[in-house]
Chains A and B, each alone.
Chain A
Amino acid sequence: MSRSVAVTGMGIFSAIGKNLEENHRSLIHGKHGLSHPEILETVHQNLPIGEIKSTNSDLADALNLDKNHAFTRAALLGTIALKEALQNAKIEDFTNIGFVNGNSVGGMDMTERFYREYESNPANRRFIQAQHPGFTTEQIAGYFGIDNYVTTISTACSSAANAVMLGARLIQSGRLDQVIVGGTDCLSRFTLNGFNSLMIYSEDFPKPFDSERKGLNLGEAAAYLVLESADFAKNKEVLGYVSGYGNANDAFHQTASSENGEGAYLAMQKALETANLNPHHIDYINAHGTATQNNDLSESRALIRIFKEMPAFSSTKSFTGHTLAAAGAIEAVFSLLAIKHQQIYPNLNFNSAISDTRLRPVTELQSTKIQHVLSNSFGFGGNCTSLIFSKDE
């Protein structure tokens, strides 16, 4: 690696807490954030979701937004999480900072609400442009006055992980010295019904890597990391380094993963290569672990192909639900918390291993020495990304 990429700040808002401290507390106490829908208006009242129990107007008030704002829910969550990350990194001058946002749902929450009303109700038309992810990113960037390099990655469930990777590459190439990376996605009827129609939505709490797993549960969240070059990070507390990354395509099916997890295997292999590490260096894996039949088996096989001796691993989606484009970012935050506190967060709801692969995740909070963490995020379109975070030595 040419230039090291330091993480100097992070912020998070998820169903298990509105900031870093709350999220950490939930993780160590094994307190998940899944519940029945209260804010999302859907007929599927029986489906557990990782819902943040604040209404849009609560969130907008917290940000002091004008009444006629056009912030999508993803933008509201994102702005709050980003505020924490910037405070944490002590950044006040945004002149040269870049912003790479992962987002997939965009303003679909608003589109599905107003789609049939735009014709008759001019007041809502400010949300027409909000449907697409770039608009949500612009709102967040606009709130802080981040003007230069601002972009959005939309590769479904690996979006934020790809944003972290791009941020690291932008710093390494010297194109930027400071960049905010991460992602945000809110719950919507669109995605809830989408995954439900694919028959991979669980009516119970998610059981990642369990032989009896019944599918995924969606969640909503936003999380961001502030990445800085070594020069810029010099006098700051470094939470960890982005030391490796890899993206590959499964090239198997639009939504399903290949049997032997080829894309996942290649992504992990590339991540280890860029980090210049061997598999045995990895102390903990924050798995993608959606709790679908297909993903967990395919990911397990890919893990076994890479790791002769399987390191400790868990899927924290059992706490937050699958937060789609934000997943890679909240799991990056959890990986960095694992490094900071030298502890591994459990995989909830696990009872028995998948018979084929016999992999058993960590099911209780564990204190242990953690130097390197691998975090996986895989998405529709065969998109597979692995990141490696390392402790400041």
Chain B
Amino acid sequence: MSRKMYINGMASIAAQTEEDLFTENLQSFSENIFPATSVNYKEYIKPMMLRRMSKAIKMGLVTAKRALNEAGVDVPDSIIVGTGEGCKQDTEKFLENILDENESFLTPTAFIQSTHNTVGGQIALDLKCTGYNMTYTQNSASFESALIDAKLQFTEEMGTRCVLVGGVDEIARISTPFYNLDGQLKAGEINTAKILQSSSEGTITSEGAAFFLLSEIRTQDSFAEISDCMIYRNISEEKLQEEISWFLKKNDLKIDELDVVILGNNGDTRYDHYYQQLQEDLFKNTLQLGYKNWVGDYNTVTAYACWLGAEILKRKEIPQQLKLNNLPLKQPTSILVYNQYLGKNHSLTLLRSL
């Protein structure tokens, strides 16, 4: 019997601040690659350690610690991380050394921090957490893969009571701009705020981290639960509609009971039809939100979307700048996050208020 996964703490770093999100002050960018907002990392990480850490490690560690703080948990039973592209900055650094020095005179620091599970390992090291530690890297379904693992832990009798789960991805100096070359990013002049109306191919990208402390124990700080999650490597539009209906039904929810759907529209005319079809059909009477025009699209941006959904359930308030349609607002109690990238790695995640 599956136990519930309550969100008892969470934190996020992205290109927009939490304050700007709920005060209608979201920023627009004119570049197709833009960084996450800066955070006072020193508050959480010793300066000596900080110097060696890439952005992914810093963002991951800080959001993980903030989520734990909020939940009042020192050490979780498990740490599960999703990252599509891992520690790209250190990978790039070591690779350039190899190429520049023709495979000689190399120092290992960047190499040892280049593995995709560096963030998960560093969190364990920092917390001295010897529990279960896992890292998923399935492009845009990386965070969801981590969530599904968390959900499995709550069906098992392995003594797991709380799981730290999150998603993190960083921008790298050379490798991220490669996405200008293979059509992943939009060309020409850009006003990121307006990309969802664009008629061009490609999207915009950024970086971020969001971590959640999920617990089977409901506390006075619990404000939402993550009910369920599914991933599909490849799915047709027709099948997608069926799957969404089945997914909601499986969670005892009728389509007209769903309050909000958070969609992953990213302005790429080649693939946004997956969302548009749902907007016009299945979700035509559901409040629709879009967010990638504000925080960019990256493999684990759905961790941000889940943070956003949980924040909406907590505040019972909708960030106005994210609305894709104009429907009278009900008190939000259930939110579905649907996402895909380049038509692959689709995911459905259901959040509910308590």
Residues of A bordering B, CB below 8 Å: 42-44, 103-104, 108, 111-112, 115-116, 118-119, 122, 125-126, 128-129, 131-135, 137-138, 141-142, 146-156, 162, 166, 169-170, 172-173, 175, 189-190, 193-194, 196-198, 247-255, 262-263, 266, 274, 379-383
Contact = CB atoms under 8 A, between A and B. Distances in A.
B74 interface: no
A382 B106 contact: no
B233 A147 contact: yes
Given A155-B133, A162-B134, A170-B152, A383 B99 contact: no
A131 B175 contact: yes
Interface stretch (B30-38, B116-124, B186-194, B254-262): B116-124
Q: Which 5 A-B pairs have the closest CB atoms?
A: A381-B121, A194-B111, A154-B116, A150-B233, A134-B139
B196 interface: no
B130 A154 contact: no
Interface stretch (B62-70, B177-185, B273-281, B322-330): B177-185
Contact of A152 (B125, B133, B138): B138
Given A43-B102, A112-B95, A198 B112 contact: yes
Given A138-B344, A150-B138, A382-B125, A155 B112 contact: no
A386 to B, nearest CB: 13
Nearest to A126: B182
Given A262-B130, A382-B133, A249 B102 contact: no
B129 A249 contact: yes
Nearest to A196: B106
B236 to A, nearest CB: 9
Interface in B134-152: 134-139, 141-142, 145, 148-149, 152
A219 to B, nearest CB: 18
Contact of B118 (A248, A250, A381): A381
B171 to A, nearest CB: 14
B156 A173 contact: yes
Contact of B179 (A119, A128, A266): A128
A124 B164 CA distance: 39
Nearest to A255: B112
A382 B131 CA distance: 11
A44 B98 CA distance: 12
Contacts of A133: 116, 137
Contacts of A104: 115-116
Nearest to A246: B132
Contacts of B129: 249, 251
B138 A197 contact: no
B174 to A, nearest CB: 8
Contacts of A151: 136, 138, 141, 145, 148, 231
16 contacts: A104-B115, A115-B99, A118-B178, A122-B181, A125-B178, A128-B178, A134-B84, A134-B141, A134-B299, A138-B233, A154-B115, A173-B155, A190-B91, A193-B94, A254-B125, A266-B130
Contact of A147 (B103, B158, B179, B235): B235
Contacts of B155: 173
B270 interface: no
Contacts, number: 205
Interface residues of B, number: 66
Contacts of B107: 197
A251 B128 contact: yes
A198 B114 CA distance: 13
Contacts of B127: 251
Nearest to A122: B181
Interface of B: 79, 84-86, 91, 94-95, 98-99, 102-104, 106-108, 111-118, 120-122, 124-125, 127-139, 141-142, 145, 148-149, 152, 155-156, 158, 174-175, 178-179, 181-182, 184, 230-235, 299, 344-345
Contacts of B106: 193, 196-197
Contact of A129 (B102, B158, B182): B182
B179 to A, nearest CB: 7
A138 B340 CA distance: 14
A197 B344 CA distance: 37
B138 A380 contact: no
Contact of A153 (B134, B182, B232): B134
A137 B116 CA distance: 15
Nearest to A199: B108
Contact of B99 (A112, A150, A170): A112
B98 A190 contact: yes
- Residue in A42, A166, A380 whose Cβ sees the most chain B Cβ within 10 Å: A380
B133 A148 contact: no
Contacts of A122: 181
A190 B139 contact: no
A148 B232 contact: yes
A193 B95 CA distance: 10
A151 B232 CA distance: 9
- Residue in A119, A194, A247, A251 whose Cβ sees the most chain B Cβ within 10 Å: A251
Contacts of A162: 134
Given A170-B152, A189-B103, A382-B124, A152 B111 contact: no
Contact of B104 (A43, A262, A381): A43
Contacts of A381: 115, 117-118, 120-122, 124, 133, 135
Nearest to A42: B103
Nearest to B155: A173
Given A135-B139, A162-B134, A379-B117, A149 B231 contact: yes
A253 B113 CA distance: 11
A249 B141 contact: no
Contacts of A247: 132-134
Given A173-B152, A380-B117, A197 B108 contact: yes
A253 to B, nearest CB: 7
- Residue in B79, B108, B230 whose Cβ sees the most chain A Cβ within 10 Å: B108
B86 A132 contact: yes
Contacts of A170: 152
Given A148-B233, A248-B130, A193 B121 contact: no
Contacts of A255: 108, 112
